[in-house]
Amino acid sequence: MALIDVDHLSFAYDATPVLQDVSMSVEAGEKLAILGGNGSGKSTLAQWIAGWLPRGTFAASEGGVAVEGRPWAELDAATRAGTVQFVGQVPMQQLSGFAFTVLDEIAFGPGNLQLPEPEIRARVDAAVGICNLGHLLERDPFSLSGGEQQRLSIAAALAMQPRALVLDEPTGNFDPESRDALLAQMEKLPAELAIVWCDVTLGAAMAVASRFVLLDEGRIAYDGDASGLLAHPRTAQIFGLPAVAEAALLWRAAGVWPEGVPISADPARVAAVLRPMLEVVA
Ligand SMILES: Nc1ncnc2c1ncn2[C@@H]1O[C@H](COP(=O)(O)OP(=O)(O)OP(=O)(O)O)[C@@H](O)[C@H]1O
Ligand SMILES: [Mg+2]
């Protein structure tokens, strides 16, 4: 059974449909990217996956989302928090407002679970390491830069040790160095943690995910591996192809790219494919 199952979900905030007959699942430990242009419905779908929707007057017009077969509404708050953590695309909205320091912000969630003090400390230390926040622990969360706040939000989510982490444009405020640092740290996350990475560009998602869902005007236009995504006609139109992916597609057309190896837009993955071939030439 899938960890999270989106089943024929149709949804509108008002009269305009935002998600239309969306069916997809997130398996335990899966690294999944939800990609699409502005307004395609990524954040809305992410909020459904994370159990933030339905809420208030916002309900599905058809279908719904289940966690291991049970609707979100049946789960208590602690189970929900330990199942999925959602980091939204506006970092300041993620801060609890109850913490005067970065350290307290990260410890806030585990503290609410009333975990023993050493357990809280261990969780905070691990999250601080992954998100490179050691030098900012005594700072007021609201005094951080946008990129620092984004790293703090991710750390606070990780400290809850969820089974799935939904990240909405997580590197939107990052400079390239911070982005690469986060991507390197993502590889150190537990293999059993599912990642749902929503983005408007291909690069970072290609480094993290092995499965790609392309949203186009609230519908799933593609669900599959990187090669299929890059070959999909809407991909180049929505994102433009990164030069490295365009080169890899040309090499494949010329018969240079090894048979059966997926095309990627991640420079590191393309380099890893090319390196042995260049060594043979040298
Ligand atoms: N609370 C809301 N009330 C009304 N409409 C909304 C609300 N939130 C989102 N929408 C609309 O739903 C559509 C999808 O929005 P959503 O934020 O899910 O897209 P997105 O793919 O995440 O876009 P972006 O790349 O800009 O973040 C947009 O047309 C948006 O204006
Ligand atoms: Mg969005």
Q: Are residues 281 and 210 in the same domain?
A: no
Ligand 1 pocket, residue 44 CB under 6 Å: yes
Q: Are residues 85 and 170 in the same domain?
A: yes
Q: How many structural domains are present in the chain?
A: 2
Q: Are 118 and 68 in the same domain?
A: yes
Find the ligand nearest to 48 CA: 1
Give the angle subtended at the CA of 78 by the CAs of 156 and 171, to the nearest 5°.
Answer: 25
Residue nearest to atom 4 of ligand 1 (CA): 13
| 270 class by beta-carbon count within 10 Å (0-12 exposed, 13-18 middle, 19+ buried) | buried
State the chain's mean pLDDT as an integer.
Answer: 92
| Under 8 Å between Cβ of 193 and 214 | no
Average pLDDT over residues 254-264: 86
Do 160 and 234 belong to one domain? yes
Does 186 share its domain with 255?
Answer: no
pLDDT in tens, 112-154: 999 999 999 999 999 999 898 999 999 999 999 988 999 999 9
Helix (H, G, I), strand (E, B) or coil at 168: strand
User: Which range (7-21, 58-72, 181-195) has the least confidence?
Assistant: 181-195
State the distance from the centre of ligand 2 to the C-alpha of 274, rounded, in angstroms: 34
User: Does pLDDT of 281 surpass 80?
Assistant: no
The confidence score (pLDDT) of residue 19 equals: 98
> Phi/psi of residue 10, each to 5°?
-125, 135
In this predicted structure, the answer to whether residue 224 has a pLDDT above a threshold of 70 is yes
Q: Residues 171, 279: one domain?
A: no
pLDDT at 276: 85
Q: Which domain holds residue 161?
A: 4-239
pLDDT tens digit sequence for 169-218: 998 888 888 888 888 888 888 899 999 999 999 989 989 999 999 999 99
